[in-house]
Structure 1
Amino acid sequence: MTGSIADARASVDRARGEAAEFKYKYGYEMPCDVLAKRLANINQVYTQRAYMRPLGVATTLISLDDEVGPSLYKCDPAGYYVGYKATASGPKQQEALNHLEKKLKNKDYAPGDWEEVVELAITTLSTVLSVDFKKNELEIGIVGGPISENSDETSPAFRTLTEEEIDERLQAIAEKD
């Protein structure tokens, strides 16, 4: 989420409610593209009603589906949603998108395993912000990576990387340079 904290909280609560209602009604988890479309429709209604203030938040949705595989969608306050290979949000969004576009040009997805994808994300942030990061300055979440730090088994669940794992990725980036 990028934008107003209060609007982000309201949007997350609404998304959770929509996903729970979908699961109750149909008996399976709501696909990411369906949730993105629903949130975009809700946001679009907020822009048309005179008595409702538009939500000032951009939402990025990430999922790992058994049928579709990994999915990444972004919804904006105007009610527009689109799927991406990689995306960014925030003040330097366009610079980050340009960097990612150069790196992923003519590719269907980011090549390599989860470690190389995380390194691409760190490199993009570092390039756009002109900052060399330390392990305690980053918080990284992954979906579909290893269950734990020293495990070869993968999990479809979301988890955050430990500072040691982030430090390993920073060291790998430093060795490439």
Structure 2
Amino acid sequence: MSRTSYDRYLTVFSPEGRLYQVEYAFKAISGSGHTAVAIRGKDTTVVITQRKVADKLIDASTVTHLFGITPTIGCVMTGLTADAHAQVARARREAADFRYKYGYEITPDALSRRLANINQVYTQRAGMRPLGISMIIIGIDPEVGPQCFRLDPAGYFVGFHATAAGQKHQEAMNHLEKKWKKLDNGRGADDPAKAGQSLSRDEVIEMAIEAMSTVHSTDYKPGEVEIGICSSHEDEEETKGLWRIMDEEEIEEHLLAYAEKD
């Protein structure tokens, strides 16, 4: 059988042990034209993504890749928009079921594990197809603090200090790894966890902006990016520990701070 015979079926392995349809789902994420970056620090976790409006007639306020799942958990979706909306709706339903069953809000890692399990089921049944999206979940865990998880169409999830998804995600990951090595040498004594825990709220936001700007070699304007944040920092008075999306004025402040830093 040729390769084309194997990539017609989701549930049939090739002789090399590959599932081509799952690999094509990863290509759908990279081909979406968007990049998302997430970073967590001492008391803050942040996601940033590009805001692209495909047509001048589209209402820009209705275009977003950031979604709230619970009051304390949010996510950035990269890939096929329709699949993203379906996944967000499922995530909200799972979080609501957990709250109803156990009486308290689901934690970011429990939600990530549940959604990853669902994604994995989509890779083993012929009547389904994998969702062409990468989901980065951020939130504040009441016991362990800021959390950041990335889920992929294969059903794999893992926690990150910093991560990226979408177009040019590998370049973004390489940039973040270099930044983390500098943090290790300067602050963390070769311990990535300690290095990340030393990052303040503003440092986390500016590092995310720097990653996006460096990878795309662009100085972004406030309307060209979206930033979602969960922070227990004292500056977050009314929204302490809650998921929220920054408005353009606040984004502009951080863009200016990053520009002046350079």
Q: State the TM-score, normalizing by the size of structure 2.
A: 0.62
Greater C-alpha radius of gyration: 2
Are residues 1:93 and 2:169 paired?
yes
Q: Tell me how far apart the structure 1 counterparts of residues 94 and 210 of structure 2 sit (CA, whole Å).
A: 35
Residue aligning to 1:156: 241
Residue aligning to 1:170: 255
What is the aligned counterpart of 1:129 among 212, 216, 220? Answer: 216
Letter in 1 for 2:209: I
The SS at the match of 1:40 is helix
Q: Tell me how far apart the structure 2 counterparts of residues 10 and 132 of structure 1 sit (CA, whole Å).
A: 33
Letter in 1 for 2:204: V
Q: Which runs of 5+ in 2 are unaligned?
A: 1-76, 185-191
Letter in 2 for 1:4: L
Q: State the TM-score, normalizing by the size of structure 1.
A: 0.90
Q: Tell me how far apart the structure 1 counterparts of residues 92 and 115 of structure 2 sit (CA, whole Å).
A: 11
Shift of the alpha carbon at 1:7?
A: 1.1
Shift of the alpha carbon at 1:168?
A: 2.1
The correspondence of residues 60-139 of structure 1 with structure 2, limited to 5 A, is 60-105=136-181, 106=184, 107-108=192-193, 109=196, 111-139=198-226
The SS at the match of 1:79 is coil
Q: Tell me how far apart the structure 2 counterparts of residues 117 and 111 of structure 1 sit (CA, whole Å).
A: 10
Is 1:55–1:77's contact at 8 Å kept on the other side of the alignment?
A: yes
Shift of the alpha carbon at 1:170?
A: 2.0
Is 1:3–1:58's contact at 8 Å kept on the other side of the alignment?
A: yes
Q: Tell me how far apart the structure 2 counterparts of residues 3 and 137 of structure 1 sit (CA, whole Å).
A: 18
Is 2:139–2:243's contact at 8 Å kept on the other side of the alignment?
A: no
Is 2:79–2:134's contact at 8 Å kept on the other side of the alignment?
A: yes
Is 1:110–1:117's contact at 8 Å kept on the other side of the alignment?
A: no
Is 2:136–2:150's contact at 8 Å kept on the other side of the alignment?
A: yes
- Higher share in strand: 2
Aligned residues: 174
What is the aligned counterpart of 2:229 among 122, 139, 142? Answer: 142
Are residues 1:32 and 2:108 paired?
yes
Q: Tell me how far apart the structure 2 counterparts of residues 60 and 176 of structure 1 sit (CA, whole Å).
A: 28
Q: Which runs of 5+ in 1 are unaligned?
A: none
Residue aligning to 2:16: none
Residue aligning to 1:6: 82
Q: Give the % identical residues.
A: 57
Distance 1:112 1:118, change over 3 A: same
The SS at the match of 1:87 is strand
Q: Tell me how far apart the structure 1 counterparts of residues 142 and 197 of structure 2 sit (CA, whole Å).
A: 19
* Runs of 4+ off more than 4 Å: none
Letter in 1 for 2:115: L
Shift of the alpha carbon at 1:152?
A: 6.1
Is 1:104–1:110's contact at 8 Å kept on the other side of the alignment?
A: no
